[in-house]
Amino acid sequence: MKTISDAIVIGGGLQGCSTALHLARRGLGVTVIEKDYVGRHASGVNAGGVRTLGRVLPELPLSVAAKALWRQMEALVDDDCGFRPSGQVRVAETAEEMEGLGRRSRAVDALGLPHREVVIDRSELRRLLPEVAPHCLGGLHVADDGFADPFRTTTAFRRAAEREGARIVEGAAVTAVTRPDGASWRVTAGGERHDSALLFNCAGAWGGRLAAALGDAVPLAANGSMMMVTARMPRVVGPVVGAAGRALSFKQFQNGTVLIGGGHRAPVDLDSNATAIDVRALSRAAGNAAALFPIMARASIMRFWSGIEGFTPDGLPVLGPSASAPGAFHAFGFSAHGFQLGPIVGRVLAELALDGTASLPVAPFRVDRFRRDPASAVASGTMACPAE
């Protein structure tokens, strides 16, 4: 069977479904090809953080623009996606950590964006987080950050794209990508042949393989971001909580369960979709939660899981046109903090493909940056991005 579209999107996660939606709304016929099912991997099982707080500086313009879309999510996809602007707080336990948060706040102010990260003292921290440990000194606060439901969000973008005419093909692993006439793309997947003028690599942890096939070498590492959830508890926190000196992402849902994450990783196998659990790392995550919130020492862990994600050496995504293959574009390698960016990523890719330029700065995310500096390991900015 052969299908012809204006654009093919490989990968049915949030980035792929968002790209399909924005392309379709600009009048293109779009086919999304997903080897498993929509939301199967990182997009459906992440922590759901909708966070501008602590973004590395090159990501902030994208993140601020994405948050504007999150505020009007129901108008965008006919679903609020479970978005709750609960606020986010990064907790400091030492004077040195407080000084670092102050530097971060000043650096963000200097950018001139409509975004502020406010340093709060001990009394304000306790007002926001009554159960926080007594030794904590303060923190950094963004009042309108929050969280959403990852699988619901990805599904909402999928359905919105379908309403605009996009075709979603699931259970179809890509086996070949060629340009037989030197102009159009031909993708073979699931026994079908798909032709199009434009190709979008939104393949997540598998995005490095597709990029290499297009001539864009990216040192992408695949890992599993682990999380766990507790039994229902009395109210512990309202805002989403991170830590200045610990690996921690911590939030409580309306039903009282508490989600604990924070970038603790475990091995994965891209060929079999297999993920693993590192119980010792999860134990450290639980210990970090209890250190900041002593009430968590009494929590009962009900389940834990790991989702497959792709990590770049510098922690920044690959977002923009291929450096080697005209008509191809990339959006992968979000390194466990791409969920909040999903709504804006699709718009940026549509702009790049159809207008030739983006309305937001994307140069730091060029695919060929590793060619210029293959040893790059640290993103420019004043704070590393933790997992969402």
Q: Is the pLDDT of residue 377 over 60?
A: no
Residue 261: per-residue pLDDT: 87
Residue 235, phi then psi, degrees to nearest 5:
-60, 120
How does residue 372 score in pLDDT terms, banded at 50, 70 and 90?
low
Query: What is the pLDDT at residue 386?
Result: 55
pLDDT band at 1 (very low <50, low <70, confident <90, very high): low
Helix (H, G, I), strand (E, B) or coil at 297: helix
Strands 328-332 and 198-201: parallel
Report CA Rg, the chain.
21
What is the phi-psi region of residue 285: left when phi exceeds 0, alpha when psi lies from -120 to 50, beta otherwise? alpha
Question: Residue 371: what pLDDT?
Answer: 82
3-state secondary structure of 228: strand
Indicate the pLDDT class of residue 383, thresholds 50, 70 and 90.
Answer: very low
- In one letter, which amino acid is 197? A
Mean pLDDT score across all residues of the chain:
92
Joined tokens for residue 222? 């695949």
Rounded mean pLDDT, 357-375: 87
- At residue 373, the pLDDT reads 54
Tell me the per-residue pLDDT of 108-142, one tens digit each, with 9 for 90 and over: 999 999 999 999 999 999 999 999 999 999 999 99
Distance CA 242, CA 67 (A): 19
Closest CA to 321 of 311, 313, 331: 331
- For residue 384, is pLDDT > 70? no
- Name every residue whose Cβ is closer than 8 Å to that of residue 261 and which is 6 or more positions away in sequence: 47, 225, 226, 227, 228, 248, 249, 250, 285, 387
Q: How far apart are CA 172 and CA 33, in angstroms?
A: 6
What CA–CA distances, in Å, run from 237 to 6, 19, 53, 285? 47, 34, 17, 17
Asked if domains 2-49+151-218+314-372 and 88-143+221-311 share a fold, the reply is no
For residue 387, give the DSSP letter. P
Class of domain 2-49+151-218+314-372: alpha beta
Pairing of strands 7-10, 30-33: parallel
Q: Over 60: is that where the pLDDT of 216 sits?
A: yes
pLDDT of residue 47: 84
pLDDT band at 164; cut points 50, 70, 90: very high
Ranking 151-165, 191-205, 366-380 by mean pLDDT, the lowest is 366-380
Residues 216 and 213: their CA atoms lie apart, in Å, by: 7
CA angle, corner 364, sides to 39 and 22, nearest 5? Answer: 40
Check residues 372 and 298 and name the one with the higher pLDDT.
Answer: 298
The DSSP string of 180-249 is TTSSSEEEEETTEEEEESEEEE--GGGHHHHHHHTT-----EEEEEEEEEEPP-S---SSEEEESSS--E
Mean pLDDT along residues 48-55: 94
pLDDT the model gives residue 379: 37
Q: Please give the average per-residue pLDDT across 204-233, as a whole number.
A: 94
CA distance 178 to 7: 14
pLDDT in tens, 311-331: 999 999 999 999 999 999 999
Contact indicator for 82, 255 with CB cutoff of 8 Å: no
The mean pLDDT value for 72-86 works out to: 96
Q: Which residues pair with 269 in a beta bridge?
A: 274
| pLDDT score of 185 more than 90 | yes
Residue 4 has what pLDDT?
84
**From the candidate CATH numbers 3.30.1330.60, 3.30.9.10, 3.40.50.2300, 3.40.640.10, the one assigned to the domain spanning 88-143+221-311:** 3.30.9.10
What's the one-letter identity of residue 324?
Answer: S
pLDDT of residue 387: 55
- Domain locations in the chain? 2-49+151-218+314-372, 88-143+221-311
